[in-house]
Amino acid sequence: MLFNTHCATCHGRTGDLGMNGAKDLVTSTIPRDEAIAVITSGRAGMMAYGTMLSKKEIAAVTDHVLTLRTKSAR
Ligand code: HEC
């Protein structure tokens, strides 16, 4: 799965690892389009995935990131 391969090193599989200054994705509140922008273009300590992943893959990984939030809200 894309998230576990590319993102979990910093964010952790549950999104709240916070390695290398990574934002906690469980408590993150930015809207979906902003999350896509961060993932595509990078921001501060996070690299850009726009050249590594297709638009479709970025959309899929973003949907996964949003499910990490829902779990914590339950
Ligand atoms: C090298 C470590 C690292 C990896 C790998 C990484 N990130 Fe990040 N991520 C960060 C850091 C650091 C930030 C905070 C950037 C800042 O302070 O502006 C961040 C921020 C984010 C944010 C913004 C959250 C918010 O509320 O502002 C999202 C969404 C995100 N990452 C998703 C992902 C996804 C999806 C992947 C995999 C495709 C990924 N990250 C891979 C380090 C990483």
**pLDDT of 26-39, one tens digit each?**
999 999 999 999 99
Token pair of 32 as six digits: 């979906």
Residue 1 has pLDDT above 60, yes or no: yes
Q: Mean pLDDT throughout 45-57?
A: 97
Average predicted confidence (pLDDT) for the chain = 94
CA of 41 to the centre of ligand 1 (A): 11
- Give the CATH number for residue 51: 1.10.760.10
Residue 50 has pLDDT above 90, yes or no: yes
Show the ligand 1 pocket: residues with CB < 6 angstroms.
Answer: 6-7, 9-11, 20-23, 28, 30, 35, 38-39, 43-46, 49, 61, 65
What global pTM score does this model have? 0.95
User: What is the domain count for the chain?
Assistant: 1
Give the position, in ligand 1's atom list, of the atom nearest the Cα of 27. 26
Q: Mean pLDDT throughout 3-16?
A: 97
Q: Mean pLDDT throughout 39-57?
A: 97
Domain of residue 37 covers 2-73
Residue where the block lists tokens 């921001």: 43
